[in-house]
A and B are shown apart, each in its own frame.
Chain A
Amino acid sequence: MDRRRAIRARGITKCFGEVVALDGIDLDVAPGQIHGLVGPNGAGKTTLLGLLLGLAVADSGRLEILGTAVGRALAAPDGVAGFVDGPGLYPSLTARQNLAALAALRGQDAPIDELLDQVGLTDVADDRANGFSLGMRQRLGLAAALLTKPRLLVLDEPSNGLDPAGKKHVHGVLTRLAAQGASVVLSSHRMDDLEALCSEVTILATGRVVFSGPLSKLAAENRELDYRLLTSDPPAARRLAGETAGIGVVAGHDGDALVVRALVPGLDALVVGLVQAGVALRELAPVVSPLETAFLALTEAQHTEQEAGE
C-alpha cells in the first residue's frame, strides 16, 4: 500500500447493467492536493466520486483511500467526507440544526458557529434550509462535510449556484483545507474554478481517463490556442501578426481586438515584434482557457475514436 497517496486507484471498472460507467480508471491524488475531475455529462465522474465516498464498490480494480484498501462492502472509508449529486440537507431543520444533528450523529463536539462562518452562512444560521438557494445549500453541504475534519474531501459540482461571495468562501475553505494537508477531489464544469483551485486535473471521457496530471502539463501540450490581444495600434498589430511565423490571424473579429491562433513560441515572437515596433500591448489572454481547450480536444478525440471503433 502506498501511504503517501490519498487516493491510489488502479484499473477501476464499474458497470450498471450493460452500461460501462468506468473502464479501467487509474487515479493518483497526493495529500494536500486539490484535484479536479472534468468530463462531459455521462463520463463517469459521479460514479467515480461515489466509489471514493463508499457509496458503491467497483466491479474490478484496486482502490486505496488514505492508505487503506477499500473492501467489497458499502462503507465510506474513515476520514472521507463530501457529497455527490448535491448536498444532502434536511429542509425542515435550520442550518445550525442540520450541522448539530450530524455532529450528534457522529458523537462529536463540532465548532458549528465557526464552520458556518467559514462558509459565510452565519446570518442565516437559524433559518430553515427549505428557504435556501442552491448556492447556500452548497455552502451548508460543504460545512457539513467539514464537520468530520476530513483528510479527503470529495465534492461533486460544489460551485453550482454560487455567487461571487459564495465562491470566495468556498475557494478559501478548500485552499485552507489543502494547506493543512487534506486532499480535495472535486468535479466541475466550470473551468475557471478548476484552474483557480486545482494543481492537477483528470479528464474523463466515456468512462476512461484521457488526461491526468498538472495543469501546466496541459498548457505545455503541443496544442494551438486562440489569444485575444488589445494593442495601441490595431492595424499595425494585425499586419505584424500576419508577418510573424507560426501565427494565424483568426478572421471575423471586429473592433480593436485581434485574435490570433498560435503555439506559445509563436505568441512569444509576436509579442517581441509588437514591442520592437513600438506597439503597446494592453491586454493578452486566451479566448478559451487551456483547460477548456484541452477538455474539448481530448473528449472530442475520444468520442471520434469510439465512433470509429464502432
Chain B
Amino acid sequence: MTATIADEKARNVTVARGYRFEVVKLVSQWRIRLLVLACWIAPALFVAAVGQQSTLPVDTLFGRWMLATGWAGSLVMLGFAGTWALPLLTSVVAGDVFASEDRLGTWRHLLVAVRSPRRIFAAKALASLSVILLLVAGLMVSSTVGGLVTVGNLPLVGLDGHLLSPGDAAGKVLLAWVCALAPTLALAAIGLLGSVALGRSPMGLLLPAIVALAMQLAQMLPLPVAVRLALPSYAFIAWNGLFTSPAQPGPLLIGVAVSLAWAATATALAYRLFVRRDFTNLAYDGAGRRAVTAGALPVAGLVAVAVVLVATAAGTGFTGSGIDQDKVERSVATAFAHLYRIQAGQLNRSDVTEAQLGASAACNKSGGKGAQEGPGNDWRCVVSWHLPDVEATGQAIYQLDVTADGRYVADGDGPKEVNGYFLVRTQTGDAPNPLWQFDGNVELLPTTAKG
C-alpha cells in the first residue's frame, strides 16, 4: 500500500515540476536565449557607447546626465524599457506561452502528461513570469553596471535639480525598477490573456504591445488626470516622482496599485477562459466572441472602476489636466534654485542656499491668453532670485515644453550669462551649463504648496 501511495505521488505532476518543464521549453527556444543575452549585454554596451559620445540623448529623461553619473544610464534604460522594451518582451514571452502549444499541436500531449489544466496554467504563468523577471533584471543590472564602470558612482541630479548622493541614487534607481515591475506584470497578464483567448492568432502575441501602445497614445492626449492614472502605463512614468525632493509617492502608489489590479484581473480572466476550453476541438482558433465578453469587457470595466476610484482619491482635481500655473511656477523655481547651486559650485562661486536664493517663478501660457493650465510648448517663465549682499533681483527667462504626463523641458532664454549655452568644468569633464536646459516634472495630483 505504501508503495502504491508513493507511486501515486510520483505520478502526480506538481506545479513545481510543471514549472520546471515550462522553463526548460522556454529556455530551449533560440529567441528567448537571444533575448536574455540581449537584455544582459546590450544595455551595458549602449550606456558605455553613449559615455564615449559628446552628443547625449537629451530627449530622454536623465539622458543629459549620462556623462555626469553612472546612475543616469540605468534610468535612461528604464525610460526606454517602459516605452518599448518591456511591452515587446512581455509580448514575446507571456503572449506566446499558451499560443505556442496551439501552434505546435501539443495541448493534448501536455494534458495527458499533466492531467490538470489548472496546474498547467499555474506552471505556464509562473514560468513566463520568471523569464520576464530575468529579462528585466538583465536590463537593470546591465545598464547600471555599464554606467558605473564607464562613468562612475557619482551623485545624480534629481528631476527637480537636487543632488542625490550615490547611495541615495542607488536605492532610488533600484526602487524605480522594482516599481516598473508592476506595469510589466500587468502587460504580462494581458499577454497571458491574449495567448489564451486568441490562440494561434498573431493578435494574441501582439496584444501586450498593442495595449501598451494604446496606453502610451492615451498618455499623450490631454485626458483628465483620473483617466491617466487609471491606466497601468502611468506607473512607467510615475517613478519620476522618486527623483524629486520631497518625493511624489502618490501617483506612483496609484500606478502600482492599478497595475497590480490589472495583473490580477487579466490573469484571473485568462485562467477562467483556459480551464473552460474544449481541448478536443481541433478547429479551435481562439475563444472568438468569448474573448470579447470574457476578456475585453471585464478589463474595460476595471478601467472604469479605476477611474472612479482615482477620481475619488484625487478629489476636485481629477477632471482637469493636473497641470496648472501654480504647480508649474513652483516646480520651475525649485529646480532653478537647486541647479543654481550646482552651477555656482562648477563656476567656483561662493555657495548659497536655496533659502537665501528665495527663487520664484512667474509663468504664463500663450502669453497669458486663455486658460493658464494644461500641457503645451507655449509656457514661458520668468525666474527671480536674490543673492546675499546683492540688492538687485536676478531674473532669467525660460521657455517650457510641458507634456500631458507632467514632464517638461525648460530651455534657457537669457540672460546668456545665467542660462545660455556655455561649458562648465565638472568632475567628469566639461559639460553644458546646468541652467541652460533642464528636465522637470509637475505632479498631476492636487498638491499643497511646500515651503
Cβ contacts under 8 Å, B104 to chain A: 88-91
Q: How far is the CA of A176 from the CA of B69 in the complex (A)?
A: 71
The answer to whether A54 and B106 have CB atoms under 8 Å apart is no
* Contact residues in B for A89 (Cβ distance below 8 Å): 104, 106, 109
Q: How far is the CA of A258 from the CA of B342 in the complex (A)?
A: 108
* Residue from B20, B107, B113, B280 with most neighbouring chain A CB atoms (10 Å): B280
A-B CB pair tally, cutoff 8 Å: 98
Which residues of A in the span 74-94 have a Cβ within 8 Å of any Cβ on B? 74-76, 78, 80-93
Q: How many residues of B contact A (CB 8 A)?
A: 33
List chain A residues, Cβ under 8 A from B291. none
Q: Flag whether A106 is at the interface (Cβ < 8 A).
A: yes
- Asked if B114 contacts A105 (CB within 8 A), the reply is yes
Query: A88 — which chain B residues lie within 8 A by C-beta?
Result: 104-110
B117: chain A residues at CB < 8 Å are 74
Bitwise interface map of B from 2 to 37 toward A, beta carbon under 8 Å scored 1, else 0: 000000101101100110110011001110000000
CB-based contact B112/A93 at 8 Å: no
Q: Is A175 an interface residue (CB 8 A)?
A: no
B279 adjacent to chain A (CB < 8 Å): yes
How far apart are the CA atoms of A121 and B282 in the complex, in Å? 29
Distance between A38 CB and nearest chain B CB, rounded to angstroms? 20
A104 near B21: Cβ-Cβ < 8 Å:
yes
Q: CB within 8 Å of A: which of B225-253?
A: none
B111 in the interface, Cβ–Cβ < 8 Å? yes
CB-based contact A76/B281 at 8 Å: no
The interface residues of chain B lying within 8 Å CB-to-CB of A309 are: none
A93-B10 contact, Cβ under 8 Å, with A50-B280, A56-B278, A88-B105: no
Contact B108 A92 (CB under 8 A): no
Supposing A78-B11, A106-B11 touch, asked if A54 and B111 sit within 8 A by C-beta, the answer is yes
Chain B residues near A54 (CB, 8 Å)? Answer: 111-112, 115
Query: Are A81 and B112 in touch, CB under 8 angstroms?
Result: yes
Q: Is the CB of B10 within 8 A of A85?
A: no
> B28 and A92: CB pair below 8 A?
yes
Cross-chain contact B13 with A76 (CB below 8 angstroms): no
Residues of A within 8 A of B115 (CB): 54, 75-76
Selected contact of A105 from candidates B21, B106, B107, B282, CB within 8 Å: B21
Q: How far is the CA of A85 from the CA of B109 in the complex (A)?
A: 10
What mask results when residues 51 to 63 of chain B are scored 1 for a CB within 8 Å of chain A, else 0?
0000000000000
Tell whether, in the assembled complex, residue B10 and residue A107 are in contact, meaning their CB atoms are under 8 Å apart.
Answer: yes
A53 within 8 A of B: yes
What are the residues of chain B within 8 A of A80 when measuring CB–CB?
112
Q: Which B-chain residue is minimally distant from A47 (CB atoms)?
A: B280
Contact with A along B261-282 (1 / 0, CB 8 A): 0000000000000000011111
CB of A101 within 8 Å of the partner chain = yes
B20 partner, pick from A50, A85, A104, beta carbons under 8 A: A104
Q: Are B10 and A108 in contact (CB under 8 A)?
A: yes
CB distance from A155 to the nearest CB of B (A): 12
Determine if B116 is an interface residue (Cβ-Cβ < 8 Å): yes
Q: Which residues of B (96-128) have their CB < 8 Å from a CB of A?
A: 104-117
Which chain B residues border A76 with CB–CB below 8 Å? 111-112, 115
Interface of chain B, main secondary structure: helix
| Min distance, Cβ A218 to any Cβ of chain B, angstroms | 29
Q: Determine the distance from Cα of A102 to Cα of B8 in the docked complex, in whole angstroms.
A: 16
Given that A74-B111, A88-B106, A148-B11 are known contacts, is A106 also in contact with B17, CB under 8 Å in the complex? Answer: yes
Decide if A83 touches B113 in the complex (CB within 8 Å).
Answer: no
A202 to chain B, nearest CB (A): 19
Query: Given A78-B11, A84-B108, do A105 and B279 touch, yes or no (CB 8 Å)?
Result: no
Which residues of B have CB within 8 Å of A90?
25, 28, 104, 106
Instruction: With both chains docked as a complex, state the minimum distance between the C-beta of A90 and any C-beta of chain B, in angstroms.
Output: 6
Chain B residues contacting A83 (CB-CB under 8 Å) are 108-109, 112
> A105 with B280: in contact, given A85-B105, A90-B104, A97-B28 (CB under 8 Å)?
no
> Which residue of A has the minimal Cβ distance to B29?
A92
Measured in the bound complex, the distance between the Cα atoms of B14 and A104 in whole Å is 11
Q: Is A296 an interface residue (CB 8 A)?
A: no
A70 CA to B21 CA, complexed, in Å = 27
Q: In the assembly, what is the distance between CA of A97 and CA of B25, in Å?
A: 10
Nearest Cβ on chain A to B278's Cβ, whole angstroms = 7
Chain B residues closer than 8 Å to A91, beta-carbon distance: 104
A107-B17 CB under 8 A given contacts A55-B111, A85-B108, A93-B24: yes
Known: A47-B280, A86-B105, A105-B17. 17 other contacts (CB 8 A): A46-B282, A50-B280, A55-B279, A74-B117, A78-B8, A84-B108, A88-B106, A89-B109, A92-B29, A102-B113, A104-B21, A105-B13, A105-B18, A105-B113, A107-B11, A107-B13, A108-B10
30 contacts between A and B (CB under 8 A): A16-B281, A46-B282, A50-B279, A53-B111, A55-B111, A55-B280, A74-B279, A75-B116, A76-B111, A76-B112, A78-B11, A83-B108, A83-B109, A83-B112, A85-B105, A87-B109, A88-B109, A88-B110, A89-B109, A90-B104, A92-B30, A93-B28, A101-B21, A102-B113, A104-B24, A105-B113, A106-B10, A106-B11, A106-B113, A107-B13
Task: List residues of chain B with CB under 8 Å of any chain A CB.
Answer: 8, 10-11, 13-14, 17-18, 20-21, 24-25, 28-30, 104-117, 278-282
Chain A interface residues (CB < 8 Å from chain B): 16, 46-47, 50, 53-56, 74-76, 78, 80-93, 97, 101-102, 104-108, 141, 144, 148
- A-B pairs, top 7 by smallest CB distance, nearest first, are A88-B109, A88-B106, A92-B28, A56-B280, A50-B280, A105-B21, A75-B115
